[in-house]
Amino acid sequence: MHEMSLAEGILQLVEDTARREAARRVSGVILEIGALASVEIEALRFCFDAVTRDTLAAAARLEIRVLPGQGWCMPCGQSVPLTALTDPCPQCGSFQVQPVSGMEMRVKEIEIE
C-alpha cells in the first residue's frame, strides 16, 4: 500500500510548513488528487490519521478534492474525459488516448494556528 508513504510525505511537507511559519498546530489540510493518480482515497485518509497522531497535525481536518481525468485522443484529435488510464476515446473508440490531466497530487492548502 503506497498510501502510507504518500501520507508520510504529506505529513513531512505539512510539518515543515508549520515549523517555518511558527505554527502551534495544523487545523486542516486540503489535497487535490487526480482521478487517474492511482490513489485509494479511503486508504489515504486512514494512513493520514495514523501518521499524524502525536504531531502538529493531530486531529487536522483532511479535505480531498478529486480532479477529473482528461485525455487527448491521437486519431481524432479530441480532448476527452477519462475515468481510467485504459479508457478508449468516447468519440472514436480508439485506445490511443494520451492522459493530459488527472494524474496529479498536490497539497493545495494548509490551515495553521
d(CA 47, CA 28): 16
**Confidence check: pLDDT of 62 > 80:** yes
pLDDT > 70 fraction of the chain, expressed in percent and rounded: 99
Set out the domains of the chain in order of their start, with CATH numbers. Answer: 3-112 (3.30.2320.80)
Report the length, in residues, of the chain.
113
Which residue blocks in the chain are alpha helix, DSSP H? 3-20, 41-52
Task: Write down the pLDDT at residue 52.
Answer: 97
Q: In the structure grid, which three cell numbers stand for residue 112, read together? A: 495553521
Q: Per-residue pLDDT tens for 71-97? A: 999 999 999 999 999 999 999 999 999
Q: In the structure grid, which three cell numbers stand for residue 75, read together? A: 486519431
d(CA 26, CA 63): 13
Confidence band for 113, pLDDT divided at 50, 70 and 90: very high
Task: Write down the pLDDT at residue 13.
Answer: 97
Q: In the structure grid, which three cell numbers stand for residue 20, read together? A: 517555518
Local structure of 98: helix, strand or coil: strand
* Sheet strands (E) in the chain: 26-34, 61-67, 69-73, 79-82, 97-101, 105-112
Confidence band for 65, pLDDT divided at 50, 70 and 90: very high
Q: Per-residue pLDDT tens for 38-55? A: 999 999 999 999 999 999
